[in-house]
Amino acid sequence: MVWRFALLILLTLGSWPTLPATAAEREPSFTEARLRELLARNPQTGRPVDSVAELVPLLPAELRRNFTLVYDSRSPFKTSITPQQPRVILFTDDGRLVLTFIGDERQPGADLLETMSFDAEQAKFVLHAYLLPAAERRAWRPSAADAKCARCHGDDPRPINDAYPLWPGFYGAVLDTFPNDRIGRKERKLYDAFAATTAKTGVYKDLLYPADTPVSPFLDPRLLKDDTVELDPALGRFLPNARLGMALTELNRQRIYRKLAAGPGFAVNEKRMLALLLECRPSDRPSQQEMRAVQHALERENAARLKRLGIVRGDPHKDRNDMQELMFVRELAEIDAVARMAGVDRSDWSMAREPGSLAFFDGILDGEVNGKSYYLKQDLIFEMLSHLRAREPAFDKYFHADNVLADFGYPFGNRVDLATAAGSCDLLTAPGPEAGRPITPHAARPQPAPGTPRAAASRT
């Protein structure tokens, strides 16, 4: 198996020390229910937690060591977020609970704790907001518009998180570090000013900053290689943006499958869709017209993301800064085709804020097997084959899954063996009610070409 553009490749290197060596040794992650208990009663005082600054040191180490910082936000409280007072995002090892808050107690939004948790039974993300007593004493409340989470996260909430390896507006925006170029040096100057002052106060001082890097919690820029987006797995504890994206992607794929399976055309086209993703029939390949539409949409999205990062013509390392998805146009066209066959709108499948985004790369996707590329679409293959074999035992032998990152201490990294999965093609293409042309569901809404502007808009 070839691991291309993999952030964490399977090498015989030690796991990073802040996590257990195996998932079996890991304690259960902190949950929303436990957070509510803590907010209701500070164990040190017996009273409700008054402020975010009081809350942070009470949180488990798991949350305080997994954090990243946003200095240029698109959230409703963007005017309260600055390089010197960045927004904090804390997350559990598995990403099933995310907490976020601003740092400047003088600004609107201070002492408002926002959370996102994942409901595994329903395959849904759940959002909550807690206005702590300190905020109430200041007689501040969010406006009705700002309090509406769906404005950014959608009616079926999803995380808002850019795809690996760029996170514009986040510290460590490029590969979780500060490259020695115009953009990296500018951001490094801002971060150094924060680290020398504000980071030692308020809501920031009780975060657990890892040692052995001059830009904690981010990667030492001297370890960055300009000619690749691959990074050593031993560096994992210095890659908070990547870790968060990987964990959330594994959860979001369950949400995507739930939405796909609810489509009016899913049941009748299920096996044909999986056969398309596994490339069982050469005739199922997307047309040149479909691929051109995806290519043009990607180019527009890529240009917009580079603009947000501040990249201009002439800046170095365009190949590193460009969306990795540009290399996988055919695979994305197949994902788009699957959505149309199921009769569902895929405009909120990606975790990018832009509706209709084609950004799906999380940094650990393995995808080349027997000369075929399954990049980006392998998450759908995992979910579809997993559910199909639960209903039809004949498919069970074609679903072999494992956490390929377990030896490094990660609770995410569950992948299906793609070579084994491809062996199901004979079952998927056997004559039956799904043979012939795919059925277009009558209830399906017309799908615009990828990248077509939509009226609806849809954080971190």
- What is the rounded average pLDDT of the residues 363-376? 83
User: What is the per-residue pLDDT for 421?
Assistant: 97
CB-CB contact of 175 with 223 (8 Å): no
**pLDDT tens, position by position, 277-328:** 999 998 888 999 999 999 999 999 999 999 998 888 877 776 788 899 999 9
According to the model, what pLDDT value does residue 447 have? Answer: 43
Segment 27-31 shows an average pLDDT of 84
What confidence score (pLDDT) does residue 360 get?
A: 93
Q: Higher confidence at residue 441 or residue 123?
A: 123
Average pLDDT over residues 31-47: 97
Q: Which two tokens stand for residue 437?
A: 């042309």
Instruction: Say how far apart CA 210 and CA 213 lie, in whole Å.
Output: 7
Model pLDDT, residue 18 = 44
Q: What angle do CA 95, 72, 190 make, to 5 degrees?
A: 105
Q: pTM of the entire structure?
A: 0.88
Mean pLDDT computed over 242-249: 95
* Three-state DSSP state, 69: strand
**What pLDDT does residue 13 have?**
28
For residues 227 and 177, give the distance between their C-alpha atoms in angstroms, rounded to a whole number.
Answer: 15
Query: Cα dist. 140→40, 109, 135, 360 in Å?
Result: 20, 8, 6, 38
Q: How far apart are CA 58 and CA 43, in angstroms?
A: 9
Q: Give yes or no for residue 435 having a pLDDT over 50.
A: no
User: Between the CA of residue 444 and those of 204, 266, 294, what are the distances in Å?
Assistant: 48, 11, 20
Maximal CA-CA distance, the chain: 69
Residue 22: DSSP 8-state: S
Q: For residue 139, what pLDDT is reported? A: 77
Provide the pLDDT for residue 147.
Answer: 63
In 283-371, beta strands by DSSP E: 368-369
Domain boundaries, the chain: 23-243, 253-428
Residue by residue, DSSP assigns 351-397 as SSSSTT------S----EETTEE-TTTHHHHHHHHHHHHHH-GGGGG
What per-residue confidence (pLDDT) applies to 332? 97
User: How far, in Å, are 51, 134, 135, 147 from residue 105 at the CA level?
Assistant: 9, 9, 9, 18
Compute the mean pLDDT over every residue in the chain, rounded to the nearest whole number. Answer: 86
For the chain, percent of residues with pLDDT exceeding 70: 86
Q: Is the pLDDT of residue 26 over 80?
A: no
Give me the amino acid identity at 380: L
Summarised one tens digit per residue, pLDDT across range 408-421 is 888 998 999 999 99
